Amino acid sequence: MNDEGAEGLPANARERWVVTPEGVRLCVAELGDPGQPTVVLLHGYPDSKEVWSLVAERLRDRFHVVLYDVRGHGRSTAPRPLHGGFTLEKLTDDFLAVVDAVSPGAPVHLVGHDWGSVQGWEFATVRRTEGRIATFTSVSGPSLDHFGHWIAQRVARPTPRRAAQLLGQGAKSWYVYALHTPALPELAWRGPLGRRWPALLRRLERTPEDGYPTPSLPSDAAHGAWLYRDNVRARLRRPREDAYAHVPVQLITPTGDAFLSPHLYDGLELWAPQLTRRTLPGKHWVPRTRPDRLADWIGTFATAHEGATVPRQVVAGGAHADRFGGQLVLVTGAASGIGRAIAFSFAEAGARIVAVDRDAEGAARTAQMARLVGAQEAWAETADVADGQVMEKLAAKVAADYGVVDVLVNNAGIGLAGAFLDTTAEDWRRVLDVNLWGVIHGCRLFGRQMAERGQGGHIVNTASAAAFLPSSTLPAYSTSKAAVLMLSECLRAELAGQGIGVSAICPGIVNTGITATTHFAGVDEAEGARRRARVSRWYGRRNYPPEKVADAVLDAVVHDRAVVPVTPEARGAHLLSRLAPGILRASARVKPPL
Ligand code: NAP
């Protein structure tokens, strides 16, 4: 072993050589304290171990991190002859040789991406590795055996849905057929494709410009073609019947993977009884583009299975726990109503919650409840969203104490009713400061942090059905919400290229405390109080629960929806605003009997 930093890996990575029984020399790198639990990160095709460098860096403080170049890749030697030298059986020999060398006394947490995951499934399902693997995290690489059964089932019973799935995956697998042609892939990789691949990867996958892939790429890709030739046809034709995982498996599925359909994992629980599903917005090369999230999920899963008890967020959770477990979610206006319900829904999905409100006690209550309903962690922060300086301090504190926010919900808002000519400049300032400037401050400060991190995220802005529903009684409120809607649309266009989604939520009439605090312009305090009570009764009678708005928010993030009208009346008004705006204009003149 030497202590030189390995090329492309974090400083102080230690390298050693492991020689397999067949005489192949495998280049193994280690980071972190060997006394800690071992995580083995296995690369795919066409990659070398350095594909994991960003994730390894994030795990090294808590784990003994091990990476190795698969035979024929990076600095590991290739078998001779190549043909027949890359079978899954031989790759299992390599894995066991590495594990025996780096962690002789304890099973390892195995993580594989792409072909690293295809191999990982083999290791996690064959008997001779039993006791050597503690957990397996699979990223973007199915078991060839499961895939073989998946195809056979769909060919045997081709319902329209199953036939579409088959054709869809068939189209995504075009490169697999190409790699089976003799000599051509080698010529392409050692020639023009090899030269252009780094730029292609950056353009198509949006990987950072950080020197990856390593210079060994052309020979990695040429040798790696034998992974396909030695295994794919044989396994798909005759998949193993006993390919059951003997370890807990965490399946991380990127939502925008160009090579693998998420349907490949339908029914996976049959093969992997202890399965935890995770969904990650991103393309295929998530080890390069989403290292924070991957490292967090790998670390949490491994740690959970090191101890005697498995934390709640690892094994269970509310709707969308696969997507939001461990994510940092900040909600403004979280002390009451819709904001509180949103915080609870993300908490139920196992997120980490920052509950922000100007009502400190209310925010603290929300954080406390969020912990009880499933949040991995929850904190309360007091801030007036209308105050730019306060928001700057909040953004700096959140980044320093909790990290970069994955989902930002700009929800704080206040009501203001009354005719335009009765609305004072001060009324306008107050409602625009909170409803519009509050959203601007949030988007500007937290949106910048998300963009600078470069690992995606999502911003939700609470607008209102009033944004597309003109009214003679809510001119200031409606204007503030229309501005939020347009801001959201513009920002969505701007941030799309950085993997940051933006959604505008337009609730409709929801039973919250907002009616009790709404200011009525142009009337004295007694009349204002009477109107507040009356409107509160209407909202109470309508009784649409804020929890349903929260469901719509999580759904909007998962499906990256642009504009989400929530209640039936909001959906109807949204439709009319497009199809028959004249009707809305006419109804805007009707004065409600206040
Ligand atoms: P809510 O029950 O009054 O909750 C709003 C929360 O935001 C309150 O805790 C409030 O604190 C807080 N807040 C207000 N101004 C703030 C500021 N400057 N800084 C920090 N926190 C502030 O109202 P809601 O119905 O849940 O409203 C949430 C959002 O949904 C608002 O943007 C609202 O416009 C929108 N919306 C509501 C409805 C509806 O029918 N309820 C419909 C469409 C849209 P205080 O209690 O101290 O004011």
Q: pLDDT tens digits, residue range 437-477? A: 999 999 999 999 999 999 999 999 999 999 999 999 999 99
Phi, psi of 592 (to 5 degrees): -70, 145
> Quick check: 308 pLDDT over 70?
no
Rounded mean pLDDT of 90-102?
98
Indicate which residue of 228, 477, 539, 544 is catalytic. Answer: 477
The residue whose C-alpha atom lies closest to atom 23 belonging to ligand 1 is 514
The residue whose C-alpha atom lies closest to atom 31 belonging to ligand 1 is 413
DSSP single-letter state for residue 435: I
What is the distance in A from the centroid of ligand 1 to the CA of 389? 21
> Quick check: 276 pLDDT over 90?
yes
**Cβ-based neighbours of 247, under 8 Å, separated by 6 or more:** 124, 133, 134, 135, 136, 274
Ligand 1 atom index nearest CA of 359? 47
Please give the Cα distance from 378 to 360 (Å, whole number): 14
Band the pLDDT of 4: cuts 50, 70, 90.
very low
Ligand 1 atom index nearest CA of 462? 32
pLDDT (tens digit, 9 = 90+) per residue, 183-202?
999 999 999 999 999 999 99
In DSSP terms, 407 is beta-bridged to: 329, 458
Ligand 1 atom index nearest CA of 465? 43
Q: Are 18 and 28 in contact (CB under 8 A)?
A: yes
What is the distance in A from the centroid of ligand 1 to the CA of 415? 8
3-state DSSP call for residue 524? coil
What is the distance in A from the centroid of ligand 1 to the CA of 435? 9
Rounded mean pLDDT of 393-400?
98
Ligand 1 atom index nearest CA of 514? 3
> Quick check: 310 pLDDT over 60?
no
Rounded mean pLDDT of 233-246?
96
Active site annotation includes 244? no
Supply the pLDDT for residue 174: 85
- The mean pLDDT value of the chain amounts to 94
The residue whose C-alpha atom lies closest to atom 19 belonging to ligand 1 is 384
What kind and span of H or E run contains 202? helix 192-205
Please give the Cα distance from 379 to 363 (Å, whole number): 8
What is the distance in A from the centroid of ligand 1 to the CA of 412? 5
Block residue for tokens 């003109």: 470
What is the distance in A from the centroid of ligand 1 to the CA of 546? 11
What is the distance in A from the centroid of ligand 1 to the CA of 333? 6
Give the residue, out of 331, 332, 336, 361, with the most ligand 1 atoms within 8 A of its beta carbon, to mutate for a pocket test.
336
pLDDT (tens digit, 9 = 90+) per residue, 152-173?
999 999 999 999 988 988 888 8
Ligand 1 atom index nearest CA of 434? 18
Q: Which residues line ligand 1 (CB under 6 A)?
A: 332-333, 335-339, 357-359, 362, 384-386, 411-414, 434, 438, 462, 464, 507, 509-510, 512-514, 517
Count of beta carbons in the 10 Å neighbourhood of residue 393: 14
What is the distance in A from the centroid of ligand 1 to the CA of 414? 5
Please give the Cα distance from 111 to 94 (Å, whole number): 15
> Quick check: 313 pLDDT over 60?
no
Supply the pLDDT for residue 97: 97
Domains of the chain, start order: 14-310 (3.40.50.1820), 323-586 (3.40.50.720)
Q: Are 50 and 9 in contact (CB under 8 A)?
A: yes
Q: Which residue has the higher pLDDT, 390 or 166?
A: 390
Euclidean distance between the first and the last CA atom of the chain, given in angstroms as a whole number: 82
The residue whose C-alpha atom lies closest to atom 43 belonging to ligand 1 is 464
The residue whose C-alpha atom lies closest to atom 33 belonging to ligand 1 is 413
> Quick check: 315 pLDDT over 50?
no
Please give the Cα distance from 261 to 61 (Å, whole number): 34
Concatenate the DSSP letters of all residues of 477-514 into one string: HHHHHHHHHHHHHHHHHHHGGGTEEEEEEE--S--STH
Please give the Cα distance from 255 to 451 (Å, whole number): 19
What is the distance in A from the centroid of ligand 1 to the CA of 576? 26
pLDDT (tens digit, 9 = 90+) per residue, 539-556?
999 999 999 999 999 999
**Cβ-based neighbours of 115, under 8 Å, separated by 6 or more:** 43, 44, 45, 70, 141, 224, 227
Give the residue, out of 344, 435, 471, 512, with the most ligand 1 atoms within 8 A of its beta carbon, to mutate for a pocket test.
512
Ligand 1 atom index nearest CA of 415? 34
The residue whose C-alpha atom lies closest to atom 34 belonging to ligand 1 is 413
Band the pLDDT of 318: cuts 50, 70, 90.
confident
